[in-house]
Every structure is written in structure tokens, then in C-alpha cells.
Structure 1
Amino acid sequence: MSCPRHLSRRRALTAATGLVTGALLPLAATPRASAAVPAAPQALDPTAAASYTNPVIWQDFADLDVIRVGDTFYASASTMHYSPGAPVLRSYDLVNWEIAGHSVPVLDFGAKYDLNGARGYVRGIWASTLAYRPSNRTFYWLGQIDFARTYVYTATAAEGPWSRLATIGTPYYDAGLLVDTDDTLYVAYGNTTIHVAQLSPDGRSQVRSQQVFSTPSSIGTLEGARFYKINGQYYIFLTRPANGQYILKSTSGPFGPYTLRQVLLDLRGPIPGGGVPHQGGLVRTQGGAWYYLAFVDAYPGGRMPALAPVTWTTDGWPVVQLVDGAWGTSYPSPAVPAPPRQVAPLTGVDTFDRTTLDPRWEWNHNPDNTKWSAGNGLTLRTATVTRDLYWARNTLTHRIQGPTSTATVQLDHSGMRDGDRAGLALLRDSSAWIGLKRDGGTTRVVMVDGLAMDGNWNTTGTGTERASAPLPGGNRIWLRATADIRPGSARPGTFSYSTDGTTFTRLGPVFSLGNDWRFFMGYRFALFNHATQALGGAVRVTRFDLSTP
């Protein structure tokens, strides 16, 4: 992830085209460790598809770090101001993924993450790192917050519970964590100037930090470190945002000296209109095959994971396997053992029948946990008095499935009070929504657009009502939003409603989804309920359905 002083450079690089290929390095079979003897052959999955299609996840998961622990693959991603943060994805075949949990249970990094007098938009969980330490059978997540300090979280299972292990005074920007063969913990990090730090044996403090590389001006920016070791050699995998990958290699230990090799530059990606696959991680299957899991800039939807196989040259440098000179839209499926079960889909129905939320859900900033509950549907009590959705607490978000998908919400509005606003939004720095306004004892269904932020993430528009309709009797309404998140400008979002759950009526004009990358996160579906007069109202979401054509 680029720091602010390099944002203009990233914009220019995103527009680059053409093709220059390079090599990848053979890295460890297990996360952040040296290569091991390949595992004994295992029964492969006879039901596995013969090939897979990129992106392997058409949802917004960026700055990927990927590892394998036994027969299970895990990945971590950026979430910025959404809470809980740093989702841990799980897969048994590198193609089908589910969200297991979150490494950062709450963004307790200051009041701005609570929407309490300040806001944390485009702050929070940037590019971070996920590793597994066999010696204590523990997962580690490490990331810097607000360019001020680094936090370390641990768990004995990917789904959690995760807890904070340490706070380290050095901000490890775009970090990659390596668990060495002697169990020492190292961190590669930095932007343009790359450092390596050694942590204490318990992972709670820094023992040493040293600059190991300065990026030549001819390259520009390198960041997004991933740290690996194989055959006694150390490799730092780096991103040139947003169009290249490079590798640093040391034969003299983790502190170098390092030499540089280009991996790829301006490689055509697998999503039409999208960017170059970059800033991901390398992982090896149980059978010894290597893969690179990267992301593709594909706004307005966000940054989508794409997978490509890696092979080796005779002198030991692996290469991303291309299809017609580009990152392939399709490859043979990884040969892996049969999965113990099917992963949970990232689409489908949620009736909120448990007291905890499915990990697919993330709040816009930290919620006020006294103002929501689940178990018999999702109850959202008003938590903020505001006319600005960007200031409203307890807005619950869900990633949009690409290339197009529809979210349908069944809502019980009997608990609304005068001044309340509740509904379903397409949420980003330019937003729109369909929902309910209750004023003077009357509730109407409305479509609102014109919610907007500037480049400093300050609100510049709180919304304009574009259409409305009277609400007939009864306490239930169905709200629907459809979003086209294929890369490109003027992608449409549309809204409709129903009073019986069967016949839907379009409401309001088409909303054009913005595709500026600077907000980093893609559009999300968002459930909200806030007050404009006084707290006390509530709505209950009894069903959420995310479907694709």
C-alpha cells in the first residue's frame, strides 16, 4: 500500500501498459520458513475442477499475504477503517476461499476509529503480514497503524480468538514477517528504503533494525514487503505500485547485502480494464507446486485476488506462468488433497440467527456495541444523531460480489422514530442509498444520492433526495441495490423496493459508482440506521441476500 507522498506516482503507474517478464524465486513450503522435504503423496481431490478462473475472489481483498499450515491455506488483507480488521481467509485449494475471522478484533487505536470527534477513513489496517510459528503453534499478525507504531496479534486458530501480544515503537510500514528456521522472528519493511528488524524471542520488542536496501531512482518506489527463506538464502518480495514486482536476495543472512531482480512489470492482468497483478505473496502446495496470489486494481469494486502458478528456471529462479503474454484468466487447478469440507460461500443468505455476526460483515469504524444485537435478526438501534451518513456509527458493511451482484434486505421498520433514517447504501467516498425517512409520524421510502467526501475524507455532500414513494401499511419492506463493479467509469448502481418481497419497483435515477483508487477500498453494501433528531429508534433486518445473475 502506498504512503501519501507516493500517491501521485501510483496513479501514473496504474495507467501503464505493455509487458516485461521477470523471475520469481523458489520460496519456503511453509509460511516464512525454509524449504522442507516434500510431504508424502496424498490423495488428490477427484471432484476438483480441471481449471480455475481469475479473479479467484471477485471481492475486495488487497495487500495479500498468503501462507500454508498443513493442508490449509490462509491469507490476510487490508481493511483500512473497517472493524473488525485484517480478515483471515481460509482455503483448501487456493481457489475457493472463506473468511475464517479477523486478526484485529477492534480498532482501538484512538477515538477517530470510533467516529468520536474524528474519523479514520483511509487509515487503520494497511498492508500487514500473517505468519505461523510452528514452535508454539501460533498465528501472528503484524501491522503498523497511523505511521506511529506497530501492533502484534496472535491466535492459536485462524478464526480466533485473536489478542494483542505487543506494541512496538517502530512503525513497520508494509511489513513481511519471517519465522526463520531457528525460530527467530524477522520483519522486512519500508517504502523505497527497505529495513529488516529482528524481534525478541517472544515477539514483543525489537532487538535490532538495519537498512538493507535503497531503491534506485530509476525504479522509483518499492514497498509491500514479503519475507522468505530457502536453502539458507533470504528473499524480500517487493511491489512497485501499482505495476511491478521485484525481489531482493541475500546469501549472507537476513541483514544482507541484498541484490535486486525484477519479477514483472506492466503485465496485463486477467480482469478487462483492470490493473497489473501485484502486491501479493508466494506459497507452495503440499506437492511442491508454487503459486503467486496477488491483487488486481479493479475499481469501483476494489482490489481483487488473482492466482498464477510459478515454475523454476534451471538456475533456480521461478517465473510466473503467463498465458498469451499475460496473467491468465484461467489455469489448471492446483493439485491438492481433497478438502475436509466445502468452504462457506461469500454470497448467499444471512438471517442473523446467531448472536455473533458472520465474519463476512465489517462495521464502518468501530460500532457502539450497546446499540446493536443479533440472534433474532439484526437489530440496529440509532447510535448517532447526525445528518451525515459518514459520521453515523453502526453502519454494517458487506463486500460486493463482482462483476455484478444484488443485495436484498428485508427490514422491519416498526421501531423507527421521527427523524430516523434507515436503509441500504452503496458506500464509498461517493455514495447513494435506498431506505426510509420517518418525519412527522409518516414513513416514506426514498432514494438519496450526492453523499460525497473530498480527498481529505471530509464530507462535502450529505445527500439529495432524488425520489420517494408513500409507504403502505405494514411493518416490513424489502430494499434492493444492484451494483456493477467491473473496472471502468460510470458503472451503474440501481435501487428498488418491494412491499411483498416479490414485486420490486425501481426508485430514483441510476447512480454512477466512482472509480477513483485513492479511497483504496471498493464499494460496499451497507446497512444503516441513524437519527437526525434524537436516539431511541430501531430497525430489525430479518434477512440479507447477496446474489449474482
Structure 2
Amino acid sequence: MDMSCTDQPLSRRRALAAGTGLAAGAFLPLAEASATAAAPAQGSALAAAAEYTNPVIWQDFADIDVIRVGDTYYASASTMHYSPGAPVLRSYDLVNWEIAGHSVPILDFGAKYDLNGARGYVRGIWASSLAYRPSNRTFYWLGQIDFARTYIYTATAVEGPWNRLSTISTPYYDAGLLVDSDDSLYVAYGNTTISVAQLSPDGRSQVRTQQVFTTPSSVGTLEGARFYKINGQYYIFLTRPANGQYILKSSSGPFGPYTMRQVLLDLRGPIPGGGVPHQGGLVQTQSGAWYYMAFVDAYPGGRMPALAPVTWTSDGWPVVQLVDGAWGTSYPSPAVPPPPRPVAPMTGVDTFDGTTLKPRWEWNHNPDNTKWSVGNGLTLRTATVTNDLYWARNTLTHRIQGPTSTATVHLDHSAMRDGDRAGLALLRDSSAWIGVKRDGGVTRLVMVNGLTMDSSWNTTGTGTEVASAAVSGNRVWLRASADIRPGTARSGTFSYSTDGTTFTRLGPSFSLGNDWRFFMGYRFALFNHATQALGGAVRVTRFELSTP
């Protein structure tokens, strides 16, 4: 696989969490930002002020683009090689979030996303953009794939269905989509050299593109564009990976000229041992307050969203509000109307009822949809003959909840066949798992580690069995616990149970890798693959994600 592009915009360097931050500036409320803003309903009471704690989501949702439509907030995030891609998060208060759907239903961008002769690890859905167009009451997702072209998907509800609107030959790298107040569509994009494109009114083609800014060498790299029109001014919000945030401002229209100002650099973040909050986007509440939702590098778990209030200088520049010279670990909660309902928790139990997977789940690459089903639990039929989990299709993943959490699954392995391998993994470019091996008519419980990839995402280790135990009957409970706090031991442990109550540790602790280059954090993963022949199956009747 050609990874030559990784030396270009992909080279986001992981930063140390140290520095002094910025002084607070004068507060000047600004007018409504873009056509998506809406006034609060007449007579609606604002929620009583409390405090929230950062990160607001301790799960891996990077490259956030955040918007408000009426009284509801939405955000999109990167998912790389996971399918479906580009999750859409929903919130009513900017603090409590649920996963509502995915903007990219399938990664139909080439055979490598099907694990068919090639692999798409660390490709796919990078920093992309989510916008809402009031004129047709439609959500738009825009992103480039493989540095080749840009795709736009639309939906009238974030739950879907999402459909591809257009393909544009210009790859808008790290793009931000702006729906202007006159309904025109503009895209800011680029790495170091920042450009603005205008799209046709139907969003299906490019009308014009123009370079609008060249990053000074003293700043280095700028990327991760978000595009706004605020109080008649055009702003392009940019990140300096992975320790800074800058903003460009134009008073002369979307094509500039633009002037630049630093928003933050080497700012201490809210996660001990984690990085500098950066990238992400700006959003305005119904009452006119502004917030910045960034992400914090916090490997091995990934990149975690953090929220901070923003004020504005008298000449129209944003200022992040700090606590003791740092991005605060807590702030007063946004004053918003009471939510219409609680959001769906990102932890808890899933029994795989219904006819579809809940949006908390994403496959490692596209699945073979003929080899799995839900309804009476999750049935995974073997879809690949391989001794390499990284090549196995239909591995179903779930983000790990930080700072520590445990996944427990109830597995029915009665329909496994000789050579099959099924279980629960801690999945990344260095992986381990607990599960069931069936060989020669004998079923054993095993703990396997040493599954590894190199920096080009080629397999360098298919795993070593380091512990085993006999198993009787057709069902077993498997458990994986993960400590994803950066700077700690970063350990994963595995255990099993024959009754669902008493668990027995199996194997040594597994040290979770914290190299940033894989971008996505560790995930819990359910898998079943064959090493001899297809035909076997397992059924997961219950999955529970719990925190201490």
C-alpha cells in the first residue's frame, strides 16, 4: 500500500502538554453566526448553571466539526478505516452527547476498504465537515478520500438515510464547509497553503477555487480548516498540529485577503499526561455564548473532545477562557433550554435486539453483510480464512470509555468449527485478545498477544498464545479491561467466567501502545474468523461496557 502521503499533511506531531496559554480578552457578544443559528423559543427557561468536566466525551472522537440547528447540537468526527464512517453526535447542552448515526454508510472507495487484496488502515475518513443548509433543511457532510477526490453526502435527518450527492475531482484536504447567509456554499481547505472553493448552488461541482493564505514559516503547518461567517466577517479556524490553534479573518468576503492571529499554543490541557487541546470548531448557543470544542491527544485511548467558553475582543478575534493559565478541567455548564429528553448513554448493555446495529458500533473495514445478523443477539459467521486478525473481515468494534472501563461479552461458541478463532480483543496496531480456539474437535480458552503492525500498517506479528484454560459447555463470558489514561501503565487485562459472576484472570497484563501515528485509539473488538474453512459461527447474546 502506498503510504507516501504520510510525510505530508498526515504528519501531525504529538505535542507535550505544557505552556502558559493566553490572557483573557475583553468580552464583546457577536451577532448570530450563519443561518444555522436560531433564537430560543419564546419563554423557554434556561438550564440552571452547574459545572461540566473535561473531556466532555472520554471516547475517541477526533477532528470535531460542531454546529447548532435550533436547540440541537451536532458534531462529526474522523473514523479512518472504520465502517460506517463519520459518526454524527447529538447533544442538547454541548456536554452530554449521543451517537445518532453515520454520514458515510459504507466506505465504497476501493477494494482495500473491503480487506480485498489490500487494506485501508489509517486511510478513509479523515478530518471532514458537517453543515446544515436551512434553505432545503438538509445536512451536508463533505470530506476527501485518499488525496484523490472529495465526496459530499446529504440527509434530512442525521439518523439517515445519508446519500451521496456528488463527487468533486479536487481533494479538499481537512476541509470546512460554510453555508453562507445568501445560501452560497464555500469550502476552506489545505495544508500550509489554504484555499477557498465555491461550489455550485446544487453542491455538485466546483465553480471556483483560489489560494487565500500561505502560512508563515515561523508558524509551520496549518490545517484542519473550519469556515465561519460571524458578524459579517469570514473566519477560517486552523490547527497547528498538534499544539496550536490559529484563526484567519477577512472583512472582504470569503476569498480574502485574510489576516492571522494565534488562538492558543502549547496550552496545558485538561487530561493529565495528554496533549494540547486543538483542532475542532466554534459554536454559538441560543443565548449568544460561544464555545470551542477541541480534541486532546490522549493515547492509548485516542483523541478526546474537550469544551471551553470563548469570548471575543472588541476587534473581532476569539479568546479561549482559561483556568489558571490552562484549558479548564471544569467550567460552568452552558446556559441552554432544558433538553427534550436524556441522550442515549455511550456505555451500558447491548443485547443486539432489533434489526440493525446501534450507532455505537463500527466495523474494522466494510463488513461482509451476508455473514452477520442481529435480532436474537449478534451472530458472526466466519467471513475470512486467515491466521491474521488484521485481515479478518467482520470484526466489530466499540470505543473504549475513559479513563478506565471494562467490556464483558456473553459468547455462545457451540457452532464453531475446527480452526475457528473467536473472542474479544483490544484492537489497534498492537493488539491482544481473549477468546476461544477450536482445533481437532477440542475447544480451549486462550489469551493471545503480540499482534502487531509496522508503520506502513503491514502485519508484523499474528499473535502468540500466552495462556490457556479448558472450557466446558457451549457458553462463556469474556472480559477485557483497559486503562487508557496517558502517562500511566496503560494496561489491559483479560478474564473469563463460566457463570457470569465469578471471573478468572487469564494471561499477563497487556501494555497498550501509545504511538499517535495510528491516530485511532484502542477499541474493544468482537471477532470470529476461520483459519481452515468457512462455515462456523458464534453468537454474542450480551455486551456490556461499564466503568468503575
Provide the TM-score with structure 2 as the length reference: 0.96
1:413 and 2:413 correspond: yes
Distance 1:64 1:136, change over 3 A: same
RMSD: 1.8
Q: CA deviation at 1:176?
A: 0.2
Which residue does the alignment assign to 1:262?
A: 262
Find the aligned partners of 2:212 and 2:479 in 1 and give their Cα distance.
52
Q: Is the 8 A contact 2:419 2:438 kept in 1?
A: yes
Q: Give the drift of 1:380.
A: 0.1
Matched, 1:338 2:301: no
Inter-partner Cα distance in structure 1 for 2:10 and 2:369: 38
Determine the structure 2 residue equivalent to 1:446. 446
Counterparts of 1:95-494 in structure 2 under 5 Å? 95-472=95-472, 474-488=473-487, 490-494=489-493
- 1:289 partner letter: A
After the TM superposition, list the runs of 4 or more consecutive aligned residues in structure 1 that deviate by more than 6 angstroms: 22-28
Q: Aligned letter for 1:547?
A: S
Tell me the equivalent position of 1:514. 513
Closer, same or farther in 2 for the Cα pair 1:468/1:95, shift >3 Å?
Answer: same
Q: 1:102 to 1:375 in 2, by over 3 A?
A: same
Distance 2:212 2:345 in 1: 42
Q: Deviations over 1:383-421 (max 9, x none)?
A: 000000000000000000000000000000000000000
Helix, strand or coil for the counterpart of 2:270?
coil
Q: CA deviation at 1:490?
A: 3.7
Alignment partners' CA distance in 2, 1:277 and 1:199 = 31
1:524 is aligned to 2:526: no
SS in 2 for 1:304: strand
In structure 2, the residue matched to 1:4 is: 6
Q: Is the 8 A contact 1:489 1:514 kept in 2?
A: no
Q: How far apart are 1:355 and its partner, in Å?
A: 1.3
The structural deviation recorded for 1:311 is 1.4
AA paired with 2:20? L
SS in 2 for 1:67: strand
Cα distance change on mapping 1:302 and 1:244 into 2, 3 Å: same
Say if 2:91 is the partner of 1:72.
Answer: no
Assess, with a 3 A threshold, how the Cα gap between structure 1 residues 284 and 299 changes in structure 2: closer, same or farther.
Answer: same
Q: How many residues align?
A: 543
User: Where does the alignment leave 5 or more consecutive residues of structure 2 unmatched?
Assistant: none
Aligned-partner SS, 1:242: coil
Match of 1:544 in 2: 543
Residue 83 of structure 1 is matched in structure 2 by 83
Q: 1:520 is aligned with what amino acid? A: F
Return the alpha-carbon distance in structure 2 between the equivalents of residues 16 and 348 of structure 1: 32
The verdict on how the C-alpha distance between 1:38 and 1:339 changes in structure 2, with shifts beyond 3 A counting, is closer
Counting aligned pairs with the same residue, the percent is 86
Question: Does the 8 Å CA contact 2:9/2:191 hold for their aligned counterparts?
Answer: no
CA distance in 2, matches of 1:94, 1:330: 13
For the residues of structure 1 that align with 2:318 and 2:9, how far apart are their CA atoms? 30
2:15 counterpart residue number:
14
- 1:319 to partner: Cα distance: 1.2
User: Residue by residue, what CA displacement relative to the aligned partner does 1:57-79 show, whole Å, maximum 9, x if unpaired?
Assistant: 00000000000000000000000
Question: Paired residue for 2:496?
Answer: 497
How far 1:16 moved relative to its partner? 6.1
The whole-number CA distance in structure 1 between the counterparts of 2:22 and 2:180 is 30
Residue identity opposite 1:164 in structure 2: R
Distance in 1, Cα, partners of 2:186 & 2:290: 23
State the match for 2:60 in structure 1.
Answer: 60
Does the residue aligned with 1:249 lie in a helix, a strand or coil? strand
What is the one-letter code of the residue matched to 1:58? W
Q: Under a length normalisation based on structure 1, what TM-score does the superposition of the two structures give?
A: 0.96
SS at match of 1:219: coil
Q: Tell me the SS of whatever aligns to 1:480.
A: strand
Residue 489 of structure 1: how far off its partner (Å): 5.6
Deviations 1:71-127, CA, capped at 9 Å, x for gaps: 000000000000000000000000000000000000000000000000000000000
> Alpha carbons of 1:58 and 1:157: their partners in 2 closer, same or farther (altered >3 Å)?
same
Structure 2 vs 1, CA of residues 364 and 36 (structure 1 numbering), >3 Å: closer, same or farther?
A: closer
* SS state at 1:322 partner: coil
Instruction: Check 1:8–1:180 CA distance in 2 against 1; reply closer, same or farther (3 A cut).
Output: closer
- SS of the counterpart of 2:455? coil
Deviation at 1:354, TM superposition (A): 1.1
Q: Secondary structure at 1:4's aligned position in 2?
A: helix
CA distance 1:322–1:211, shift in 2 (3 Å):
same
How far has the Cα of 1:317 moved from its partner?
2.6
Separation in 1, partners of 2:59, 2:258: 35
2: CA distance between counterparts of 1:156 and 1:393? 31
CA contact (8 A) 2:243 2:265 kept: yes
SS at match of 1:63: coil
Q: Which runs of 5+ in 1 are unaligned?
A: none
Q: How many Å apart are 1:15 and its aligned residue?
A: 2.7
Post-superposition offset of 1:231: 2.4
Distance 1:114 1:170 in 2: 24
SS at match of 2:370: helix
Aligned counterparts of 2:294 and 2:389: Cα–Cα separation in 1:
33
Q: Does the 8 Å CA contact 2:135/2:183 hold for their aligned counterparts?
A: yes
Change (3 A) 1:466 1:68: same
- The alpha carbon displacement at 1:20 in A equals 3.5
